Amino acid sequence: MPKIIIDGKEIEFKQGQTIIQAAADHGIEIPHFCYHPKLSISGNCRICLVEVERMPKLVIACATLASDGMVVHTNSEKTIAARNAVMEFILINHPLDCPICDEAGECKLQDYAYQHSIGESRFIEEKVHKDKRVQLGPYVMFDAERCISCSRCIRFCDEIAKDSELTFVKRGDRVTITTFPGEQLDNPYSLNVVDICPVGALTNSDFRFKARVWDMSKTDSVCIGCSRGCNIEIWVRNNEILRLTPRHNEDVNSYWMCDHGRINTFKFVNSSTRIDSPHLRINNEFKKVSWDEAFNQIANQIKKFSKNEIAVIGSAYATCEDNYLISKFAKSILGTYNIDFIRHIDPSFADDILRTEDLTPNSLGAELVGVFPEKNGLDLIGIINAIKEGKIKALYLVEDDIVSYEPDLVDHIKKLELFVVQTSNFNQSTNFAHVVLPAATYAEKNGTFVNIQGRVQRIRPAVATIEMDRSLDGMSLSRLDKFGTEFDRWAQGKKYDAKATWKILTNLISYFGYKYKYQNSEDVFLEFSKAIPEFNGLDYEEIGTLGKQLSIQKVKV
């Protein structure tokens, strides 16, 4: 491979790479604003100027191709002087908004001002004033005074979202960004411009002024908005999720995620509809009860029915670990093979960027771990028809809402002799349940999902339940680190008395006279990874933060 020398260090690079790309591949950071690895080169900001031997003047590292034998200096006297000058130029009209700017703490301009600026300004004239708080679209707010005209947002709309909505207008120090006449910044990926904006010019209207970045914890997880399984970070303060941002994974979602996944997949976690404890229906009214009372009621009632009168509906929103226990509970404990899950399909939601028509994160995982009918058992359509015909008398529903999915079922659901709903939030189905059990959300538990590509990926607890508070007592730091948790996440905030579905079912199964000794979700994963060929040889450490591709002959949607 060809080689280049950067700051005295000889490194290999791929033919066609620029200096900034070659440097980044070897952990050498060259300051940049307008450059982004997934966007075209614009060369607007000039902060990436470097000195190359035998070249008459400094060159921008983002647009200069690396060549064999090239000698580059990123910290020479000339380079530092030029970098200081560029920073002074950019800061001339930039407002001192840091104390009130949402970008503070994760702002490139703020960081570079400390690292590469001279520390003072010679500019004494009045700064140019531009429009502030401009609503470019339903989710994005624009502050023109903070904009450094890097054009990242314009290039993103043109090249990634494939929807040209933004452009530069005016010239010189009056230049600004606006939407084309009659347009809004409302493409399905509009909030990505907030992530890639290197300053605080573009902000998330949904998140504005809610928290400083240093006041929040962030946890690696997976988006539940569709079967793509975009890698995300969950940002939490006082045990409440305040925002989701994409996490780079080139095999899944690159640097991006859609607005639907970012806005609509976390607010239910702290919603007023959360189920805060087990409930029993007594005299047609719900009453809060203990877990033991609820488990006793379910076990005593369900034993009255034959296996053909019982059906279990799992969930593509639940983890592989949860669904494995759902399958085990139905087939091994209840003896019924009337088991399936609801497939939420919407072809109009899909696009050729990231979004898929399957609106759930784990359809493939649910199938792989056994949530499907066997031995003449009923599938979902068969279960629904059997409920209408009165043949199914007891239904156990997990982490879904069958009444919203099939509204015509309401009158027949009312006639069920036992209807148990295990879910995180009250919904249309819980209105008719005899027993309601509070399940932990994806942000409150460990587990795995399998996306549409057949890639198994991990979720981790970002917010705490009451049970987690109890489990922290005496737990070692190494144990906490293994499962991606931190002490400060549980310091404040409201917590719900909810448990992971696999744990609820493990406890419930004990009331049927069986004992499963799972201590955590990884114990469940290790059990089915030995039994199911696609998962052979995997554990949580092997899956890691970026997931692991499974060997699957046919991937279903």
Domains and CATH numbers, the chain: 3-91 (3.10.20.740), 98-103+122-209 (3.30.70.20), 279-444+498-531 (3.40.50.740)
pLDDT at 482: 46
Please say if the pLDDT value at position 424 is more than 80: yes
14 vs 108: CA distance, rounded Å: 28
Please say if the pLDDT value at position 554 is more than 80: no
Q: Are 446 and 483 in contact (CB under 8 A)?
A: yes
**Confidence bin at 118 (pLDDT 50/70/90):** confident
H-helix or E-strand spanning residue 358:
none
Q: Determine the average pLDDT of the residues in 293-313.
A: 96
Please say if the pLDDT value at position 487 is more than 50: no
pLDDT at 474: 44
pLDDT at 193: 98
456 vs 547: CA distance, rounded Å: 5
**In degrees rounded to 5, what are phi and psi of residue 153?**
-65, -40
Please say if the pLDDT value at position 477 is more than 80: no
% of the chain beyond a pLDDT of 70: 95
pLDDT at 469: 61
**Which strands sit side by side in the sheet containing 455-459, from one edge to the other?**
447-450, 455-459, 548-549
Question: What is the CB neighbour count within 10 angstroms for residue 105?
Answer: 14
Please say if the pLDDT value at position 478 is more than 60: no
∠ CA 426-428-434, nearest 5°, is 75
Q: Determine the average pLDDT of the residues in 453-459.
A: 97
Average pLDDT, the chain: 93
% of the chain beyond a pLDDT of 90: 89
Q: What is the pLDDT of residues 356-408, one digit of tens each?
A: 999 999 999 999 999 999 988 999 999 999 999 999 999 999 999 999 999 99
Its pTM stands at 0.93
Q: What is the pLDDT of residues 496-508, one digit of tens each?
A: 999 999 999 999 9
pLDDT at 495: 86
pLDDT at 284: 87
Q: What is the pLDDT of residues 515-546, one digit of tens each?
A: 999 999 999 999 999 999 999 999 999 999 99
Q: Determine the average pLDDT of the residues in 484-510.
A: 79
Question: What is the CB neighbour count within 10 angstroms for residue 555?
Answer: 14
H-helix segments, 65-176:
77-91, 108-116, 152-159
pLDDT at 492: 67
pLDDT at 317: 98
Q: Determine the average pLDDT of the residues in 296-309.
A: 95
H-helix segments, 192-253:
192-196
Tell how many helices (H) and how many strands (E) occur in the chain: 17, 23
Sign of CA dihedral 257, 258, 263, 266: negative
How many residues in the chain?
557
